[in-house]
């Protein structure tokens, strides 16, 4: 397998060669990654060569477009090792995937008094839908807390899973704030032992960790294309086929039906019954190129390279005494995401000074206010790595930090 040559890889991403971005150090990959030329070209190629609507045209152009769209579905199923492509539903993003589940499970499989477990590590996308449904339908929502070392409190999980009527566990495979990787295997095993389903939010893990939904044995798995070098506007919901077949449709309209009479409608089969209306076809088609791009590099190579950067970044940050790192000490238990705070300097001021140095980082609550509240801080600054980041980027952060301290020295 080839080793990661970040300088070579960086050249495959057009954004870094634009003159306005000459100085750019992009360290907000947990928010969205950049796109390689192959993905951008695939979008253009679709519109220029194959543009037509799918699943309905009796002409070559539409048949080809349909095949390309369904080709991506097949590729996704292989990428995450699903049993079949019929277990793959396209949505517009992770949030929509989770909402699809929140609505359809609440209508169909969950009842008043049932318990849903989520965790303090979750992005609002995997928290607010369940909290809202719990209020609407009378479910009990339990939240597994985070320990002082920023790992999930598995003792508390064990207590919560033993409560009666636990029907669903919703957990992130990697935190977008601390990079924490919970013990998903154990969570799934325990949940299944008590008869609960498990939904895993893979939005952060998908570009950094190998995903095998069969081995993991999760019931549902969700992620977005735009965090793995693919286009915006494409999300995925994986579900075990026998479960998806039991769920009602989420959105209603064209393309999700078999036949419609004035008095009743026969819905399409899974997964198409969940895909009402015209999807973002060109983006779905180009998404395949993003997965091929990852496959060519090898996800294990990517992980190894990014974690070596994360390790070096943590070492650099540790040299600055004012910096407090918000990340599990054992890097094996986390991904290439590093949050930090600095006493007496607000994260927005950190990000603003970094911006002046050409460094894009995220500052704020990262769509995770419950976690911020439990950590007792309003916000953090966050660095997140991808394959085009280099050791030079870490040196630039070091320089920016020194400038920040000088500027804010009392």
Partner 1 sequence: MSDIYSEIILDHYKKPHNAGHIKHDTNHAEEDNPLCGDNIKIYIKVSDKKIIEDISFEGEGCAISQASASILTDFLKGKPVAQAKKITTEQMYDMLKIEISPARSKCALLALRTVKSALS
DSSP H helical segments within 138-183, as ranges?
154-161
Minimum CB separation of residue 357 from partner 1 in Å reads 12
DSSP H helical segments within 111-223, as ranges?
128-137, 154-161, 184-193, 213-216
Nearer to partner 1, 40 or 345 (CB): 345
Among candidates 364, 271, 318, 296, which has minimal Cα distance to 83?
A: 271
Minimum CB separation of residue 363 from partner 1 in Å reads 8
Minimum CB separation of residue 354 from partner 1 in Å reads 12
Q: Could you give the CA distance from residue 148 to residue 342 in angstroms, rounded to a whole number?
A: 18
DSSP H helical segments within 298-385, as ranges?
299-318, 347-356, 369-375
| Three-state DSSP class for residue 29 | coil
Give the active site residue among 170, 218, 264, 367.
Answer: 367
Q: Could you give the CA distance from residue 339 to residue 347 in angstroms, rounded to a whole number?
A: 10
Q: Could you give the CA distance from residue 117 to residue 160 in angstroms, rounded to a whole number?
A: 8
Q: Is 367 a catalytic residue?
A: yes
Q: Could you give the CA distance from residue 185 to residue 133 in angstroms, rounded to a whole number?
A: 26
- Dig out the tokens for 84 from the structure: 């079949």
Nearer to partner 1, 41 or 349 (CB): 349
Minimum CB separation of residue 176 from partner 1 in Å reads 16
Report the run of H or E that residue 399 belongs to, with start and end: helix 391-407
| Three-state DSSP class for residue 182 | coil
88 beta partners? 238
Nearer to partner 1, 186 or 403 (CB): 403
Nearer to partner 1, 14 or 378 (CB): 378
Q: Do 10 and 390 touch, CB atoms closer than 8 A?
A: yes
Nearer to partner 1, 194 or 360 (CB): 360
Q: Which residues contact partner 1 (rule: CB under 8 A)?
A: 346-349, 352-353, 356, 364-365, 377-379, 407-408, 410
Q: Could you give the CA distance from residue 341 to residue 330 in angstroms, rounded to a whole number?
A: 19
Nearer to partner 1, 61 or 407 (CB): 407
Q: Could you give the CA distance from residue 371 to residue 218 in angstroms, rounded to a whole number?
A: 24
Residues belonging to the active site: 367
């Amino acid at each position: 397998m080839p080793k990661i040559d970040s300088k070579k890889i960086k050249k495959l991403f057009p954004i870094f060669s634009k003159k306005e971005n000459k100085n750019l150090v992009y360290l907000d990959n947990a928010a969205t990654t950049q796109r390689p030329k192959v993905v951008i070209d695939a979008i253009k190629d679709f519109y220029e060569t194959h543009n037509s609507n799918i699943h309905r045209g009796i002409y070559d152009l539409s048949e080809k477009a349909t095949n390309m769209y369904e080709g991506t579905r097949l590729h996704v199923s292989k990428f995450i090792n699903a049993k079949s492509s019929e277990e793959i539903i396209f949505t517009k993003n992770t949030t929509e995937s989770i909402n699809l589940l929140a609505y359809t499970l609440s209508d169909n499989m969950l009842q008043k008094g049932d318990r849903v477990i989520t965790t303090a590590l979750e992005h609002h996308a995997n928290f607010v839908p369940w909290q809202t449904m719990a209020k609407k339908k009378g479910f009990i929502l339990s939240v597994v807390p985070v320990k002082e070392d920023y790992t999930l409190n598995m003792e508390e999980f064990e207590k919560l899973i033993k409560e009666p009527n636990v029907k669903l566990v919703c957990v992130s495979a990697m935190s977008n704030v601390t990079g924490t990787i919970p013990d998903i295997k154990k969570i799934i095993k325990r949940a299944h032992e008590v008869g609960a389903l498990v939904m895993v939010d893979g939005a952060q893990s998908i570009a950094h960790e190998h995903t095998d939904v069969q081995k993991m044995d999760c019931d549902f798995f969700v992620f977005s294309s735009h965090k793995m070098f693919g286009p915006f506007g494409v999300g995925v919901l994986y579900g075990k086929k026998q479960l998806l077949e039991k769920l009602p449709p989420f959105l209603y309209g064209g393309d999700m039906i078999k036949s419609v009479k004035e008095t009743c409608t026969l819905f399409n089969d899974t997964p198409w019954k969940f895909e009402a209306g015209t999807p973002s076809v060109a983006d779905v088609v180009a998404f395949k190129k993003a997965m091929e791009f990852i496959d060519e590099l090898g996800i294990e190579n990517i992980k190894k390279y990014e974690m070596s950067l994360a390790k070096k970044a943590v070492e650099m940050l540790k040299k600055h005494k004012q910096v407090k790192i918000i990340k599990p000490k054992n890097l094996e238990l986390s991904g290439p995401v590093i949050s930090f705070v600095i006493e007496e300097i607000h994260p927005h001021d950190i990000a603003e000074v970094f911006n002046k140095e050409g460094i894009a980082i995220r500052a704020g609550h990262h769509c995770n206010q419950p976690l911020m509240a439990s950590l007792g801080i309003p916000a953090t600054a966050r660095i997140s790595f991808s394959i085009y980041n280099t050791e030079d980027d870490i040196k630039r952060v070091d320089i920016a930090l020194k400038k920040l301290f000088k500027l804010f020295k009392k």
